Amino acid sequence: MALKATIYKADLQIADMDRHYYADHALTIARHPSETDERMMVRLLAFALHADDALGFGKGLSTDDEPDLWQKDLTGAIERWIDVGQPDDRRIMKACGRAGEVVVLTYGGTWQIWWDQVAPKVERARNLRVLNIPAADSVAMAALAQRSMQLQCTIQEGTVWFSSGERSVQLPVNVVWSSPGLGS
């Protein structure tokens, strides 16, 4: 029998001073059996960084043709495709062909090795941004994971603060690569 996803609930309050976005989101997150708390919380961070009423979680690890998060317009066209982790160059380039903007949010200690391998193959993309969360910070964020979460997220000048009750984590979001014209 196949293992089923574990459901997490997150009440997320976002104050994004960089984008002037202030909203509360009640999120349901399905954590795939092979997904770690760290990866799930980085997906939640990706949501906070790009929060929009049209942004939603994809099927993620359970399917190859959907991202971890995506934002579609009213016609169903993909405006933003967000992958978490270290996707291969073919997946990234395919996503760049399908979406207006593609964001890859890397984390963990091996991201530089991954980037050195895929960078020459994806730097020609005109709609790609690659971000990195330092390994210690993504691990610290994983410690906030609970089946039911009350989280506050503040974003200012590229730094993110996540807090839950008395515990908080400060995370720098580093831009590894941004296609010319996308900005930082």
Q: Over 60: is that where the pLDDT of 184 sits?
A: no
Compute the mean pLDDT over every residue in the chain, rounded to the nearest whole number: 95
Q: What mean pLDDT is predicted for residues 112-137?
A: 97
Q: What is the mean pLDDT of residues 16-27?
A: 98
Q: How far is CA 159 from CA 10, 25, 47, in A?
A: 21, 20, 15
- Asked whether the predicted pLDDT for residue 66 surpasses 80, the reply is yes
Q: What is the average per-residue pLDDT within 34-39?
A: 95
Tens of pLDDT, residues 133-161: 999 999 999 999 999 999 999 999 999 99
* Overall CATH class of domain 6-161+173-178: alpha beta
Q: Is the pLDDT of residue 47 over 70?
A: yes
- Give the pLDDT band of residue 60 (cuts 50, 70, 90): low
Q: Which pLDDT does position 56 carry in this prediction?
A: 96
Least confident stretch, 58-62, 117-121, 123-127, 149-153: 58-62
- What local confidence, expressed as pLDDT, does residue 18 receive? 96
Q: How confident is the model at residue 63 (pLDDT cuts 50, 70, 90)?
A: confident
Q: Are strands 128-133 and 99-107 parallel, antiparallel or unpaired?
A: parallel
pLDDT at 128: 98
Per-residue pLDDT, 148:
98
pLDDT of residue 85: 96
pLDDT at 62 over 70: no
Closest to 155 measured CA to CA, from 56, 48, 52: 48
The per-residue pLDDT for 172 is: 95
Domain boundaries, the chain: 6-161+173-178
b/e 137-153 (16+ beta carbons within 10 angstroms → b): bbbbbbebbeeebebbb
